[in-house]
Amino acid sequence: DHSPRLKVASGLSADRLRRQLELVDKLNAELAPFRLLKGIEVDINEDGTLDQEPELLDQLDVVVASVHSKLRMDEKEMTPRMIAAVSNPRVNILGHCTGRIVVGRGRPESQFDADAVFGACAEHDTAVEINSRPERLDPPRRLLRKAVDAGCKVSIDTDAHAPGQLEWQVYGCARAADCEVPIETIVNTWSADELMSWARS
């Protein structure tokens, strides 16, 4: 789920997120050893801070941080904004890094210093998302290769907003194969225990 400021996607307020966390804890207790992981796609604010209460982010298993506002920000402002987010110890994954849309009227890529941002991702062990959503397919291949060359881990995600959209995973997997992403660097090919250990580190 999204964080509060993204109202178009029914972003979760702090109170709604608390209730959701309680529900997941209840389900995990009832259904063990089956386990639901707790996660969020949190907005990266203009100053690089995160759009959710820190104490709630601390209770999550996986945090994806993405830019959803001021996408046309100048590169000199966007770069430190993204670096601040991926350097935050609560962030595990950088979501759809360019924000582009490749269908319809489309949306151009956000401008940022990819070497600096992916360098920060590698330094802080923050994975770069391959967004499988057909209208996004983000990052572009040239940037995905740059992230891999920088030593970044990768997460292949659907950006699904409905159950049927989980089928989009194959598009991200194809992109990873095209760009020769090493399978051992793809965090959601790991076991749940390995994923949790990495996310908490």
How high is the pLDDT of residue 13?
86
Q: How many residues does the chain have?
A: 201
AA letter at 107 = R
Q: What is the DSSP string of 43-57?
A: EB-TTS-BSS-HHHH
Give the model's pLDDT for residue 7.
Answer: 56
| pLDDT tens string 1-35 | 555 565 554 568 889 999 999 999 999 999 999 99
For residue 105, being part of any structural domain is answered with yes
Closest Cα to residue 160, out of 39, 15, 19, 4? 39
Can you tell me the distance from the alpha carbon of 95 to that of 155, in angstroms, rounded to the nearest whole number? Answer: 9
Q: Which domain holds residue 111?
A: 40-200
- What CA–CA distance (Å, rounded) separates 165 from 81? 30
CATH of residue 64's domain is 3.20.20.140
Give the model's pLDDT for residue 3.
Answer: 58
Residues of the chain with pLDDT under 50: 9
List C-alpha distances in Å: 47 to 77, 84, 120, 172.
Answer: 9, 8, 16, 30
Instruction: Confirm whether 23 is domain-assigned.
Output: no
54 occurs within a structural domain? yes
Q: What is the pLDDT of residue 9?
A: 46
Q: What is the pLDDT of residue 12?
A: 82
Q: Is residue 129 part of a domain?
A: yes
Residue 35 lies in a domain: no
The reply to whether 149 falls in a domain is: yes
Residue 170 within any structural domain of the chain: yes
For residue 28, being part of any structural domain is answered with no
pLDDT in the model for residue 5: 61
**Number of structural domains found in the chain:** 1
